[in-house]
Each structure stands twice: as C-alpha cells, then as structure tokens.
Amino acid sequence: LEERARSCLLRFRHRLEQDIKPPYLMDHMISDGVLTGDEEERIRTQSTRKDQAVALLELLLKKDNYAYISFYNALVREAYDDLANLLYDDLPKMSQNAHKSNSDSNTSYVQTVLSEGGVPQRPVVFVSRPELVNRVREKLYRLQKDPGWVTVFGMAGSGKSVLAAEAVRHQGLIEECFPGGIHWLSIGQLDKPDLLSLDSQSLHRPPNSLDEAKERMRFLMLRRYPRALLILDDIWDSTVLKVFDIHCRILLTTRNRSLADSVSGAKYEVEVESGLDEKKGLEILALYTGTKPIALPEEARSIVRECKGSPLVVSLIGALLREKPNRWGYYLRQLRQKQFKRIRKSSSYDYDALDQAMAASIEVLPDEHRELYKDLTVLEKDIKIPAKVLSVLWDLEPEEVEDILEEFVNKSLLFVDSHNKPYLYYLHDLQLDFLVEQNRTQLEELYSLMFSLDWVSIKAKIMGPAHLINDYVEYGYILDKENSDVRSQFQEFLSLNGHQLEQRPFPDVVQLALSQPRTSEVYRQALLQAQDRTSKG
C-alpha cells in the first residue's frame, strides 16, 4: 500500500471503525478479488460490528493499492459517501491497465466531479467496450439542451453499471452537458430491508414516503443542481422511477427495458449485449491472473465460451483464480456442471450467488407469469421457437402469450429474434441452465408432459415429429430415471409413426396409438381416451 493511502487510512481509522458495516463492504472486496474467503471468514467471526471493522482495517493496512481502491468503491456503493470522500484524495494513481482510452477520461477534473457525485471507480480489473460506451455518450449528448431519460438495459451481470460509470468519465461530456455534476444513486430492489430501514449511524435519513422523496428531489435538482445528471443504478420498479419524474436529466440502468414508459419527457435507450467477445473475456482472465492473454491455459477459452462471455461470470471466476491460480480445470468443470452456488459470488453485486442474481429477476415477475416463465425449461439450447408453441404449452390465447413474452423480453429474461416473422424466442444459455437447475424438483412436470399422449399429439402437430423424437433423445437420461420403459414406448411410437404424423390433415393420434402393443403406456392412454370418447358419445 502506497504511503499516502496508508497514512490516510490511519488518519481516519477511528471514523471508519465507528461507522462501517464490514459484511457488506467485504462482499464487494471479495468480488474484486482483493479479499479471500478465509480472510472474510476470520473477520466475520468477530463478535461485534466494531470488532469486525477493526479487524478489516487492520487487514487493509497490510494489503496493496488495489485493496484500497476496492475498499473505496465499496464505500461508494454502500452509500457511505462521507467516508468515501475522506479516502478520495489519497486514492493511489494506478495507470489503469493499458486502457486509459484517452486523455479525456481520467483527468483530475473528471475524477473530482465523479467522486463528488459518488460515481464508482472502474473495477479493479476492467476492459474497455468502446462501441457501447460511445453509444451511451451519444445519447447523453442529447440531454445537453433538454431534460430526458437514457435507459441502459440488459440482463443480469451484463455490465450495465460499469458501463454507465464509464460513459460519464469524459471531460467534454461533463463540461458541455452536465456542468451541474454527475450524481450516482444505487437503487436496487426496494424490498431489500437494509435500504428502507432507518439506520441511526447513517447520515442519510431515507425519506419516509415516495412523495417526500419526490419533493426533496425536485427541490434539490432545481435549486442546487441545475444541468446535472442523475444516474439511477439498477432500477426495478416504475413507482421508484416516478419519484424522479421531475423534469431533469437521468441515466438509468435496469433489466427492464420498458420501465421508462411510465414517465414523461424525451427518452433514449441503449441495449447492453449480454456477453463480451472472446478476446475481451480472455483479457479479463489474464488481468486477474496476472498473465498475458496468449499465456492463458486452454481452459480459459472454454470458460469464456461456456458462459458466453458474461462479464459477471468471467470476473467471478477471474477473482477466484487470482486466489487459487491452479484451479482452471476445477472452475471450468463447475461452470459446466452449473454449480453456480459454489462459484462464490461477487457482491459488488448484491446477491450471494449468480443464481440468486438470476432468481431475483424472476422473483419480481407477477406470480402467474413466474410460473409460466419456469415452464420455459422445455425450450432447448440454441433452438428458437415461435409464440405459438408456448400458447399450446400454456393453454393461452396467442395474443396473451405475445404480451407475456414481450414482458419477459423487456425484463431481459428472454431474447427475441425479430428478423424472423413470426418472431422467434430463445433463452440465454445461462438462463436456461439456471431454470433447469431450479426446476429439478419440478421434473414431474417434464415427465407428465413427455409421458402424455396429449402433449405428443400437440407438439407433433406444431413442431413435427422429428423435434419430438429429439426431445426424447435429449431428455432421455432424465426421463429414464423416472421410467425407461415408458420413455422407450413413446419413442418407439414416434419412430414408427413419424411419417404419418407429418401428414396434413393431421391424423387421429388416438387411432394410431391403439395399434401399439397392449403393454405400452401409449396404448393405455389411447385406450382411456377412446373409452372417454365413447362414453361422451
């Protein structure tokens, strides 16, 4: 640790020990790879908050400049603005990787403005995404003359917050458009208790009601910060957004594309693609492990591929490897086996594990839609499907299905290929894996679909028998755990009658099924249906 930084820590040690809550801060520091799990554990076992704080500072004094920066960022992210300001002046000047994209971005003027507004520093390991950054800046320039909204949206962990902070790290933009400063507010999910609880130690008393908040905001922005930019990070709820509908300049990050629909004024949007390209992904791993990209082991490439370049996942694994550099194979295997929980989570990011980040997205769906979303496990990797298939699965009107899918897409829970008519929908691999994992307990549903003559008939009609046979092959290993005889009976039925099931008009499946051996489950179900038909006349 640089001398200045150390001296600053020592000078304010007492203040810091009084105020900080170590567990939250340590989450961020772990995700930055500057604190190990063991170290965290040792601090957590201290019995009081104060003891934990003392231990954390003790440890920090033994660490390097990165740890100091990470600690500073953690303070910013946890809204300890006053404390962060104490540390600001002595932040070590790291020549940020090789990526000082241009001299415009890191002048001390820019640093000062951003730090005053509580904008987080770059993550310790950072790669540039120039095209995206420029897209956001271009939209921000449109707020020069008039107030308005820029929405940065994308799926969990795609790098929205990092991107928002990077976009405003630009002297020209600040001077020309936002001379009133850049103010960062971490919003997050409001049902998180610690956001709402009144904390006596915190200097920021949260407003008691949304109306009060809105009044305070209006006053502040008008009187104290005209021509300022407000960055609302991670907004979930449009009622929160409405508080800020006070004719000012706002950049918001969200997973929900349509959030700004409910507010007034000019609106612009930028979509953050979910993954980095391979080169950038490898660069992150190289930076974490202190090697050159070409010197990375072969597993590195597989890790980046496996998570489709998700910045969150690549960084998580990078941070782990920094701690345990010989675990390339191990982490790759875990990623492949979808052991998300064990991929110990960052929480620069407020969730304990990647799967919780994903679960959070799903939990905010209305109950009915959440159940429907979980049904999407029937989708297959890399296969895109039209809304029609889901209208069968869900037994809903096609229009209703379209609305629901649109909601999922807007919330970054589903992707749409709109070059095709009708539109085709698909899940990100990580989302699919997550759903499958989560639904393991709900496998009965899969069995009940795949072992049902009704389903076979419906899906064969829409997607054709080849797809269906493929389902039995693909899910064979799961279905066999339930009943391998029944699985092979269905598969056999399909293979024998494939050509018939391609005919239009579509044949009577019950009739076809009645020609199966009497011992077959397919026959049994057909017989029941036939009897049912007779009894109904």
Residues contributing to the site for ligand ADP (CB under 6 A): 31, 123, 125-127, 129, 154, 156-162, 253, 284, 311-312, 315, 346, 348-349
CA distance 143 to 172: 14
Which tokens go with 116? 């005053």
Cβ distance to ligand ADP smaller for residue 22 or 159: 159
CB 64 to ligand ADP: min, Å: 18
Q: Give every strand in the sheet of 229-235, ordered side by side.
A: 182-186, 229-235, 249-254, 148-153, 266-271
| Contact between residue 125 and residue 288 where contact means Cβ atoms under 8 Å apart | yes
Q: What angle do the packed helices 429-438 and 354-363 form, to 10 degrees?
A: 80
Rg (C-alpha) for the chain, rounded Å, is 27
CA distance 56 to 94: 23
CB 299 to ligand ADP: min, Å: 19
Cβ distance to ligand ADP smaller for residue 31 or 377: 31
| Contact between residue 354 and residue 157 where contact means Cβ atoms under 8 Å apart | yes
Cβ distance to ligand ADP smaller for residue 150 or 156: 156
CB 285 to ligand ADP: min, Å: 11
CB 234 to ligand ADP: min, Å: 6
Position of tokens 């949304």?
210
Cβ distance to ligand ADP smaller for residue 70 or 377: 70
- The residues that bridge with 232 in the sheet, in sequence order, are 185, 252
Cβ distance to ligand ADP smaller for residue 129 or 170: 129
Q: Are strands 424-426 and 385-386 parallel, antiparallel or unpaired?
A: antiparallel
Which tokens go with 54? 């003392």
Cβ distance to ligand ADP smaller for residue 119 or 162: 162
CB 314 to ligand ADP: min, Å: 7
Cβ distance to ligand ADP smaller for residue 269 or 380: 269
At position 115, the amino acid (one-letter code) is S
Nearest to 141 by CA among 95, 164, 174, 180: 174
CB 184 to ligand ADP: min, Å: 12
Which tokens go with 202? 């915190």
CB 451 to ligand ADP: min, Å: 39
